[in-house]
Amino acid sequence: MSTVKSILFKDPASTESARTILRVVILLTIAAAAVASRLFSVIRFESIIHEFDPWFNFRASKYLVKNGFFDFWNWFDDRTWYPLGRVTGGTLYPGLMVTSGAIWHALRMISLPVDIRNICVLLAPGFSGLTAFATYLFTKEMKDSGAGLLAAAFMGIAPGYISRSVAGSYDNEAIAIFLLMFTFYLWIKAAKLGSAMWGGLCALFYFYMVSAWGGYVFITNLIPLHVFVLILMGRYSGRIYVAYSSWYALGTLASMQVPFVGFLPVRTSEHMAALGIFGLIQLVAFVDFLRGQVPSKQFNTLLRALVILITVVAFTGLVTLTVTGVIAPWSGRFYSLWDTGYAKIHIPIIASVSEHQPTAWPSFFFDLNFLIWLFPAGVYLCFRQLRDEHVFIIVYSVMASYFAGVMVRLMLTLTPIVCVAAAIAVSSIFDTYLEIDSPEEQEEDDSKKSKKEKVKDTTGGFLSSKAPFIGIYSVSSKVAVVAAFSVYLILFVLHCTWVTSNAYSSPSVVLASRMPDGSQHIIDDFREAYYWLRKNTPYDAKIMSWWDYGYQIGGMADRTTLVDNNTWNNTHIATVGKAMASSEEVSYDILRKHEVDYVLVIFGGLLGYSGDDINKFLWMVRIAEGVWPAEVQERKFFTSRGEYKIDAEATDTMKNSLMYKMSYYKYPSLFPPGQAQDRVRGARLPSEGPVLHTLDEAFTSENWIVRIYKVKDLDEFGRDHFAVSAFEGGKKKGKKGGLAGRAGGKRGRRVVRI
């Protein structure tokens, strides 16, 4: 037995180089698996940018590559937010675009002129390989390289992370999670070694993170929290001081170089914790220094006085600065982190985004599978050892668990720590159960006694400081546990693959369906309509649509939009909402005043596409109501029984709203009389479709998903459009019934001043 073992398992020192090679090979394999599992959409569909925000990032990257860095920095984009425009260079996180731009240039330098689109599409999978590596390094600091490899493997394929990093998902998170993990790794390294170099490196990557994602605030608060907890635990040391001070000073100065961040680190509440801890740690250091100089009795008095004085001064200072407005109060998005109902009441625009909703319970299991129940076990194991870095894991777990519960999107920050904790747990189990040797030779004859002895041993010292003796005696229990966990691991891989393939690999720009013969049929209405706009409208045409489609119109149709997914101006969005929610004569004024040429709506009624504008319509109404409570009222869109209806029972306000008219214009004629059906809302429509006076249907895509309307020019004879259509309909002006679809109110056309 022992000879076999000595052949199989040599002395660890002698096999070190073989282990290193093995580790590198395993890590490379993990990286390959991480990249490969994100390519479903490229293989199934094509190399295409997904969803909404990535289209803006892609457009910005193209701009960067075409015009160079300095033009990008000073980019004023007059093709969005018409007529306001957007100071794009100063209002974005440039990290992502600069990264892909740098890769583009680097590849070009070694004469590989890869198209910028392909770089953008494949950036997220590429960085996921690096994330796996960063997770390995991070976990290795917590336990050992075995746990590190497990964590890397988990991180590589966990759906919680894949959801934001499939090929084509060219969003800030694509690189941010790598930066998050790597910054944390560097922080742990710095805190462990008390090295200013590692602290400086940590600050450098912190800067990269700040330039890449708004979620950097998570790091900004987590590291101070870690330090604060350590101080409270009485674990202050020179190492912590050096690490934190070097990170904070360099990191904050560096982060202020990003124009979008600017002076926020010293002026907003979100960053105050870091500043406060920076002050605190100076005090602690000072007190620590005093302790060495002053006798202990006087020291206590001095300490008490100092603590009280400083707390009072700091707190009043903070309150005064907040009240006087030097420090900005918490932003709305942060309030909604503490009170999930806040956004719904005060800021409908934040609440209207599906990824800002609280997380449902099943999605934890969906995104993390068996890791979620190993997570507490891993955290528990950290409590057992509780070195400084383990405190970090505990703090991180608590914070991330809370945030993930509040906002679906923040599942992303939870995933890394779940992977790390679960890897620690699984690795501990394997360490224990995969030991080929049984613990003691005498276990067979006198196991009872030896157990007792062990109990005695462990009670000797401080409980947490001494690892309890662990050993498994029976081979069958070893086999059972190892087999069970192998099954879990295999199931995890199957689950991850299934989730990735089914839930997270749809580009959402292209919809896939099956033909009766089983072949894939692609529904490409979005691109059909966007491409029509791109090719057949003037370059300076202004397109009005709900803000969801702003980035896609900018990216694919290359036309000016009124509002887009960068929702910086609530009033402007409310204006669009009002135009959609009001009757034609009110809307026409708004459209003319904003020089709108085309209006684009998404209509899923024919195909059963549920993400259409009628389903989003109530949010438009709510947002508009927030700004014009007198003119738009949500109540008027509900029937007397409080139902949201689009069929014959719909309210007049609903039927006269521009959105309703544009969605159902001519639609009932597609069906035999009386059988018009809306397949999303399962409603039968009135056979008489709505009548439009001020808009012309310009284009409707093959499956009616995208409908584009042209805003009519002012009438040549100065009549209003209602009178024109009444006249052309062969009826006299003013005759009853000649003004079909008119909501009443003023008869004459309002004078439009532009």
Q: Minimum CB separation from another protein for residue 721, in Å?
A: 15
Nearer Cβ to another protein (223/676): 676
Task: State which of positions 84-123 bind another protein (CB under 8 A).
Answer: 110-113
Q: Which is nearer to another protein, 89 or 668 (CB)?
A: 668
| Residue 520 backbone dihedrals phi, psi, to 5 degrees | -80, 135
Write each residue from 39 to 58 as x if it is in contact with another protein (CB under 8 A), else as -, in one continuous string. Answer: ------xxxx----------
Among 62, 346, 534, 593, contact with another protein (rule: CB under 8 A): 534
Q: DSSP secondary structure string, 287-337? A: HHHHHHHS-HHHHHHHHHHHHHHHHHHHHHHHHHHHHHTSSB---HHHHHH
447 contacts 473 by C-beta, under 8 angstroms: yes
**Residue 531 near another protein by CB under 8 A:** yes
Select 521 or 635, whichever has its Cβ closest to another protein: 521
The reply to whether 297 sits near another protein by the rule CB under 8 A is no
Among 528, 595, 634, 647, which residue sits at the site for another protein (rule: CB under 8 A)? 528
Q: How far is the CB of 283 from another protein (least distance, A)?
A: 32
Distance of alpha carbon 267 from alpha carbon 271, whole angstroms: 8
Using CB under 8 A as the binding rule, whether residue 196 contacts another protein is answered as no
Please, how many CA atoms are within 13 Å of residue 336, restricted to the half-sphere of its CB? 25
Query: Binding mask 400-439 vs another protein (x if CB under 8 A, - otherwise)?
Result: ----------------------------------------
- 707 beta partners: 601, 700
Residue 133 or 530 having the CB closest to another protein: 530
- Of 483-512, which residues contact another protein (CB under 8 A)? 510
Per rule CB under 8 A, count of chain residues that contact another protein: 32
Which residues, other chains included, contact 406 with Cβ-Cβ below 8 Å and sequence gap of 6+? 336, 337, 340, 358, 359
Q: Compare residues 535 and 732 and give the one whose CB is closer to another protein.
A: 535
- H or E, element range at 520: strand 520-523
List binders of another protein among 332-361 (CB under 8 A). Answer: none
Residue listed under structure tokens 């998005």: 333
Which residue from 143, 409, 527, 661 is in contact with another protein, where contact means CB under 8 A?
Answer: 527
In this structure, what DSSP letter does residue 88 have? G
Binding flag, residue 532, another protein (CB under 8 A): yes
Binding map of another protein across residues 697-736, x = CB under 8 A, - = no contact:
xxxxxx-x-----x--------------------------
Here the tokens at position 57 are 């990032």
- Give the integer Cα–Cα distance in Å for 401 and 515: 43
Whose Cβ is closer to another protein: residue 710's or residue 742's?
710
Please state whether 369 falls in left (phi above 0), alpha (psi between -120 and 50) or beta.
Answer: left
Judged by beta carbon, residue 578 or residue 661, the one nearer another protein is 661
Q: Report the C-alpha gap between 104 and 113 in whole angstroms.
A: 8
Our CB check for another protein shows the closer of 50 and 578 to be 50
Q: What tokens does 173 get?
A: 């998170």
For residues 252 and 204, the answer to whether their CB atoms sit within 8 Å is: no
For position 669 contacting another protein by CB under 8 A, the verdict is yes
d(CA 165, CA 122): 9
We find the least distance from the C-beta atom of residue 694 to another protein, in angstroms, to be: 14
Q: How far is the CB of 195 from another protein (least distance, A)?
A: 12
- 555 in the Ramachandran plot: left (φ > 0), alpha (ψ -120 to 50) or beta? alpha
Identified binder of another protein from the candidate list 64, 124, 412, 556, rule CB under 8 A: 556
Region of residue 456 (left: phi > 0; alpha: psi -120 to 50; beta: else): alpha
Shortest Å, Cβ 524 to another protein? 6
CA distance 24 to 149: 10
Cβ closer to another protein: 440 or 528? 528
Q: Quick one: 349 or 510, whose CB is closer to another protein?
A: 510
Binding region for another protein (CB under 8 A): 45-48, 110-113, 510, 522, 524, 527-528, 530-532, 534-536, 556, 666, 669-670, 696-702, 704, 710
